[in-house]
Structure 1
Amino acid sequence: MKKMRLHQQMFRMKALPYFVGIAGAALMASTAQAQITNNITIGNAKALGLAHAVTADPPGVDSIHFNPAGLAKIKGRERQLKFLMAHMQLDAKFGAQEVDDLRKAYNDLIDARGGAGDSCAVNPDQSKCFQMDPVQNTKSSTADAALILPGIGLTSVPALAVPFGGIAIEDPDYGWTFATAFYSPQAVGYEREKDDPAAYNGYMVSVSRLTYFAPSIGLQVNDELSVGASIGFSWQGMGIKTKFRAPEQTLQFLAGTMSGLDQSIQDVLDLSLIGPYETVGDLELELDNPLSLSFNLGALWEPEDWLAFGFAYTSESTTTLEGDFKMINSDEFLATMNSLKHTPLLGAALGLLGGTSQINAQKIEKGSVELDYKVPQTVNFGTSIRIVPKLKFNMDLKWVDYKIWNSLDFKFDRNVDFLNLASVIETIAGQNDSDPDALRIPRGYKSVWSSAYGFEYQFDDAIVLRAGYEPRASSVPKNRVDLLLPIASADLYTLGAGYQIDKYSRADIGIGYMVSSFKARAGQSENANSNTAGDVVYNPYSHMSFSAKTTAILFAASLEQQF
C-alpha cells in the first residue's frame, strides 16, 4: 500500500467524531450531570427550603448526608419519612450552520475527483456535494422523565417521585446517636422524542445513585462541640439511549485524502458513502454496580446559643460499573462495513494504522462494557447566626472536586467496528484516545467553589418559614458544554415551612426552582460542535451554534416523629 497523503485543510471535516462519537456521548452521560444533582435529590424539606445552607444547621436524620455531627442533637429515638418530586425541562435552539469555507473546499475536492453528474460548482444541490444540516434553525425539548433503577434498568417514568426514610437512636448513657437512612445523593434522567434534533446527544438518559444503608454515628464531645461520621453503601447506575451521526461525509473525505490507492479501494469507498446527516446507528447501554462505598465526616461547633459553625467532608468514591451495550448500526453503516470487510487490502491497511483487520459488519453489535465511575469528594463550611430571636441566617461555602474527571476510560469486551475505524483515524491525526476495544475520553472539568444562603423565621411556637438562594458554579468549562445535560452555572431559589404538630411530630415542606442557560457559538464546544481538526470527542452539531436552557421544579415533604 502506497503512502497516504493528508490534506490538512480537509481534515477539519471531522473524520474522527463519526466513529468515536457514540462512546463519547455515553461517557458524557456519566459526567455531565455534575452540579445539577449535587444535594438536589436528597429530598430533605428543611435543607431545600434553606437552599442547602445547612452545614452548621444540620437537618435531623439527614445529617447523615449534610453533616453527621448533627446526629448528636437528636434526643431519644426518631424516624423520618419523606417524599421528593422533581420535574426537569431541557430546551435547546440551534442556529444556522456556518460552513461557507468548508462547503467550498469540500465541493472542490469532490469536483477534483470527477465522477458522474455535474460538478458541484455547477449544481451544488446534488447528493454528492456538501449539503446543509437539517438540524439548523430548529428547536428541541424533553418530553418525559426517565430513571435507571436496580432490577429494572433504564425506564420511562411520569415524573421523578421517590419516597425515602431513615431512623436515629440516641444512647443517652454514652452521649452518642446511631442512625441510618435510605436516600439518593444523585438521580437525574429525561426522555426526548426519538426524532428530536437533540437526540444525537441522547434521547433517553439517566444516572442514579441510591444509598440503601448508611450506618452513622454522632457524638456530643462537650457542650459546644459535636462530631460525626457515616459510611454509605450505595447502588450506582447509568443508562443511555442515543442516536449518532457524522456531521461530515467521513469516508468520502478519507477517500479524497488518499493518493495512489488501489482502484478497488477507491471504488469501495465511493460505493459506501454515508450521507453527512444520516443517522449512523443507535446505542443502548446500561451499567451498574450494587456496591459503591463512600464516607462522610462532620463537626459542629456552637460557642454561643446564637452562633454555630459546621464542617463536612464527603469522600471520593470510585466504582467499576459493568453492564451491556448494544449498537444497532444503520443500513448505510452496515453496507460500509461489509464493503471494507470484503476488501482484504483495506482490511490489512487498518491493522497497519492502529486498528485491526477483523471487521464485524453486523447489524447489531453487542457485548459487555465497563467504566470506572468517580463521584468527587466535597468539602463544606457553614455558619448559622441567629440575628434576632426569631430570625436565623445560614451561609455555606462548598468545594466539589470535579477536576478528577480529566479523563474517563471506557472498556469493551470485544473489538467494535466504530472504534476500529476510530483508531485508524486517530493514528492519521496523531491522537491516542481509542483502541479497537477501548476509548479514552478527555473531559477537562474543573473543581469549583460555590455558596448558599438561607433564612429561617420562627413565626410562632409551631410555624417556621424559610427562604434560600444558591448560585451554583458550573464545573463544565464553556468549551465543554453539550446537550446531553445542558447545564452551566445555575441559580436555585427556594421556599419552605415547618409545622410542629405536637410534642413528638414535625412536618416540613420545601419547594425550589432552578434555572440554567448558556450559549455556544459555532466551534466553541469540544463536546458538541467543535470545528478543530483532530478532535477526539463527539461533535454531532459541528459548525453550528446552539443555546440551551434547563429548568427544574422541586418539591419535598417530610415527617419526623419521636417514638
Structure 2
Amino acid sequence: MNPHATLRPHPAALAVAGALAAAAVLWPQATQAALTENLTTSVVAMSLGNAVTADPPGIASIHFNPAGLARLSGDSESIHNFVASIRTSASFTPGPNFDIGGWRDDPLSNTSTGPVRQIMFVPGYGVPGWRLPAVAVPGVGMAWNKAGSPWTFATDSYMSQAMSLDRTTDPNDPGQYQGRKEQIQRLVYLSPSVGYKYSDTLRFGVAVPIAHAAFVVDTNMRFPNELLGVFGQLQKGWCPEDGGNIIDVLGFGVCGGGKDGMVSPFKKAANMRLEMTAPFDPTLNLGVLWEPNPRFALGVVYQGGSKTHYTGYYQFDTEPMLRNFVRGMNASLLGPIAGATLGFPSSIPATQKGNMSAIIPFPSHLQVGIKLRPINLVQLNVDASYARWSEWDALRFQFDQSIKLLEVARLYGIPDSGKLVIPRGYRSLVNFAYGLQLYPMDRLTLRFGFEPRKTSVPNDKIDLLAPLPNTKLLSAGLNFKVSKNMDISVTGSYMKGRYNVPANTDCNLNCSNFLNIIYNPYAGQNVNGDIHVRYVGFEINKRF
C-alpha cells in the first residue's frame, strides 16, 4: 500500500377501501426514499462524515470512489463490522377543532409511541423473527495488486442502505398504524472492481456492486377520514343495535352488517404484510482521483442507479368492520345493483394473499470532494453530493390477481384493480459533508466528521415509516497502526433529527379531507417526532 493509504478515511366504506388500496403500495416506497444513505457502508468513511471522495478509504473505495483502489499496493484484506441502533418516536395531539366527520374522541389523542427495536432480513431465508436492540453487519473486502502493476482488482461486501423498525413490544403502540415491523435494506454481497493508475497524479476506477435488495412491511391500518366519519354517524342514527331494519333491507343495506359492520373512523380496519426482494441487482460506480501533490486532491464519483425489480408476496387480513359492511350491502335489495354499477366486489375476504412485483428506482448519485492538507498534522475533506430522488415520479405495482379492495377503489379512478401507479414527487438535493483528520503521531490518526443531511422527503410527505427529517450526523474515530502490515480503525457516530407536522398538512400522515383516499391514520392530529441513529464500527486492514 502506498503512503496515501495510511491516511485514508471513510413511506362511506368506499373511502376506507380506497385508502387501504393506496396504502398497501404507498408505505414501503415512502420509506425507500428516506433510507439512510452511507450510514452503514464504511467504518472509516463514517468517522469523516462520509467526506472521502478525494481521499477514498482503501478497499471501501469500491463504493466511495473506485479510483482510490489504484492507490493500493500489494494484496490486502479488510475485515469490518458495524453495530447500529435506530430509535424513533412520535407523539399525537388533536389539532384545532378536531372533528373527523362528527367523531371527536380519538383514542390516539395525547399518546406517544413506545419502545423501538430492530429486526433483520437474511437473504435466502427471510426475517428470522428476532427482536434486536441493534443490528450487526460484518463484511470482508479483498484487493489484489501485483508489484509494479498499475492495475488493482478488488471486491467487498457491505450494507449500502438500511432501515429497520420493530414496534411490537407494546400491542397498543399508536405507531402500529404506520408500521409494526419494517426492514428495508440493500446488501452488496459482491463488487468486482478495478482501479487503474494512469500516472502518479491521476487514477481511474470502475466498480460493479451486486446487491440483494429487500423490504418487509407489517402494519395495522385504520382510516379516520371525514367521509367515513359522516357515514358512521349516519349508521348510528339509522341502524338499530341488532342490525334489523326492514326499510334498510329493501334499500341499500347499510345496516346489514350488524354491530360488527358499524363503521368507525378510529377502529382497526386491517393488517397488511408485504415481503419483496431483488436478489440480483447490479449497478455501476465510476471514479476519478487527481492528486497533484500530497497537500491537495480532487475526487469525483458517479454511482449509477437502477430500475430495481422486486418480487414477493402480499397478505391483507381485513377486520369484520369492512367485511360485514360489504356483506350486508350485498344482502339487501338495492345494494348489489349499486355495487355492480360501480364495479364493487360482492365480498371482501378475511384474508387475501398472493404474489406481487414492483419497479422501484434506485436513484443515481454524484459526489465531488476535495482534500486539503495545509500542514502535515491536519487534513480537511469537503464533499458535495447529489442524489436523484426526483426519479421517483411514480411507483408501479403489479398483483397476481384482482384485489377486492382495489375493486372498490374504482370509484376513485383506479380502473385496473390488479395494478397501481402511485405518484410520489420527492426532491433531488445537494448535501455537504466535512471530515477532519489529525496526525498527533506516526502510528495514530484521529478523525472527526460532520454531515448536515437534508432529507429528500418533504415535510408534507413524511410519515412514521419514513421518519427521516433533516438530520445532523456527528462522528469521531481513530486509526492505529499495529504493525507495518496491519492497522485498526474504530468509529462512533450519532445522528439525530426532529420533525413537526401540524394537523391536516401531510396527506401521507394526518389529512382529514372529506374525499381523501391516501392513507392518513393520524388524521387531524399534530404529529411531533424524532429519530436517533447510533453507530459503532471497527475495521482491521491487513497487507500481505
**In 2, are the aligned partners of 1:452 and 1:469 still within 8 Å (CA)?**
yes
Match of 2:292 in 1: 303
Q: Give, in whole Å, the separation in 2 of the partners of 1:61 and 1:352.
A: 63
- Aligned partner of 1:9 in structure 2 is none
Alpha-carbon distance in 2 for matches of 1:396, 1:17: 46
TM-score of the two chains, using structure 2 as the length reference: 0.89
The offset of 1:45, in angstroms, is 1.8
- Pick one of 177, 182, 188 that aligns with 1:211: 188
CA shift for structure 1 position 211: 1.1
What is the aligned counterpart of 2:161 among 166, 186, 193? 186
Alignment check: 8 A CA contact 2:253 2:330 kept = no
After superposition, the CA RMSD in angstroms is 2.4
What is the 5 A alignment of 1:60-459?
A: 60-100=58-98, 102=99, 106-107=101-102, 130-154=103-127, 155-158=129-132, 159-172=134-147, 174-193=149-168, 194-248=171-225, 250=227, 253=230, 263-268=250-255, 271=258, 272-343=261-332, 345-353=334-342, 355-356=343-344, 358-424=345-411, 426=412, 432-433=413-414, 435-459=416-440
Query: Using the alignment, how far apart are the partners of 1:53 and 1:242 within structure 2?
Result: 36
- Residue 377 of structure 1 aligns to which amino acid in structure 2? S
Match of 2:510 among 508, 516, 529: 529
1:33 is displaced (CA, Å) by 4.3
Distance 1:217 1:405, change over 3 A: same
When the two structures are aligned, how many residues end up with a matched partner? 516
Residues 13 and 263, structure 2, Cα contact 8 Å, conserved in 1: no
8 Å CA contact retained: 1:480, 1:525: yes
1:438-477 C-alpha deviation (Å, 9 max, x unpaired): 2322211110110000000011110000001000011011
Moved more, 173-182 or 195-204: 173-182
- CA distance in 2: counterparts of 1:198 and 1:177, whole angstroms: 49
Q: Distance in 2 between matches of 1:345 and 1:255?
A: 20
CA distance in 2, matches of 1:522, 1:464: 49
CA displacement 1:232-261 (0-9 Å, x = unmatched): 211111101000011147557459999x99
| Identity fraction in percent | 28
Q: From the superposition, tell whether residues 535 and 282 of structure 1 become closer, same or farther in structure 2 (CA, over 3 Å).
A: same
Residue 41 of structure 1 aligns with which residue?
40
Q: How far does the alpha carbon of each residue in 1:490-547 deviate from its partner, in whole angstroms, 9 at most, with x for none?
A: 1000001000110110100111000011100000111001134443421111111111
**Does the 8 Å contact 1:170/1:178 carry over to 2?**
yes
User: Does structure 2 conserve the Cα–Cα contact (< 8 Å) formed by 1:147 and 1:187?
Assistant: no
Distance 1:152 1:530 in 2: 38
Q: Which residue of 1 aligns with 2:462?
A: 481
The 2-side partners of 1:191 and 1:162 are apart by: 18
Aligned counterpart, 1:470: 451
Asked whether the 8 Å contact 2:496–2:531 carries over to 1, the reply is yes
Retained in 2: the 8 A contact 1:25–1:484? no
Q: Is 1:510–2:491 an aligned residue pair? A: yes
Cα distance in 1 for partners of 2:414, 2:367 equals 35
CA distance in 2, matches of 1:402, 1:351: 41
* Alignment counterpart, residue 551 of structure 1, candidates 517, 522, 532: 532
Shift of 1:303: 1.4
Are residues 26 and 242 of structure 1, via their aligned partners in 2, closer, same or farther at CA, if it must alter by over 3 Å?
A: farther
Counterpart CA distance in 2 for 1:96 and 1:41 is 37
Q: Is the 8 A contact 1:21 1:539 kept in 2?
A: no
Determine if contact 2:24/2:272 at 8 Å carries over to the other structure. Answer: no
